[in-house]
Amino acid sequence: MTEEEIKQSLKLYIVLSRAHKVIDEESHSFFQANGVNPTEFAVLELLYHKGRQPLQQIGSKILLASGSITYVVDKLEKRGYLNRVSCPNDRRVTYAEISEEGHAFMAKIFPQHERVLHELMGALNDEEKEQAIALLKKLGRSIKDLSY
């Protein structure tokens, strides 16, 4: 392990962080312009694409404590984007289900979100994107394995 190699890894960290940061800022302001924060968007996206979910499971997927889930779901429910639906089989369980209004909201903004991202990624051509995807996938996976 040479000095040179360590510096290279640091460099990779820096460019990765910067790229992520600028993308994140852009999508953050896109979300903000649409009145949701990234956590709320993540919850809505989950419900939009995977159907209704027990609150508990939303928490484990988005990595939020149960009290925090109540808070986020409360906000989205007040805004009319989802409904709480009790589970008939297990009366302890409450589902969150996207409402018509929430569905319409996501049907409108999700494609926009995709398009924003696509534009942001415009500096890379198809082949470069494939390369980047392969490299980052490899990286992300190995780190996840390391940390468990």
Footprint of a copy of itself on this chain (CB under 8 A)? 1, 5-13, 15-20, 22-26, 114-115, 117-124, 126, 128-133, 135-144, 146-147
Q: Which does 131 bind (CB under 5 to 8 A by kind): DNA, a copy of itself, none?
A: a copy of itself
Q: Of residues 78, 91, 118, 144, which one binds DNA by CB under 7 A?
A: 91
| Cα(143)–Cα(58) distance, integer angstroms | 24
Q: How far is the CB of 105 from a copy of itself (least distance, A)?
A: 19
DSSP codes joined into one string, the chain:
--HHHHHHHHHHHHHHHHHHHHHHHHHHHHHHHTT--HHHHHHHHHHHHH--EEHHHHHHHHT--HHHHHHHHHHHHHTTSEEEEE-SS-TT-EEEEE-HHHHHHHHHHHHHHHHHHHHHGGGS-HHHHHHHHHHHHHHHHHHHHHH-
- Which of the ranges 20-28, 64-72, 119-127, 131-139 carries the binding residues for DNA, by CB under 7 A? 64-72
92 belongs to the binding site for DNA (CB under 7 A)? yes
54 belongs to the binding site for DNA (CB under 7 A)? yes
Q: How far is the CB of 133 from DNA (least distance, A)?
A: 26
Q: Which residues bind DNA (CB under 7 A)?
A: 37, 39, 54-57, 59, 63-75, 84, 89-95
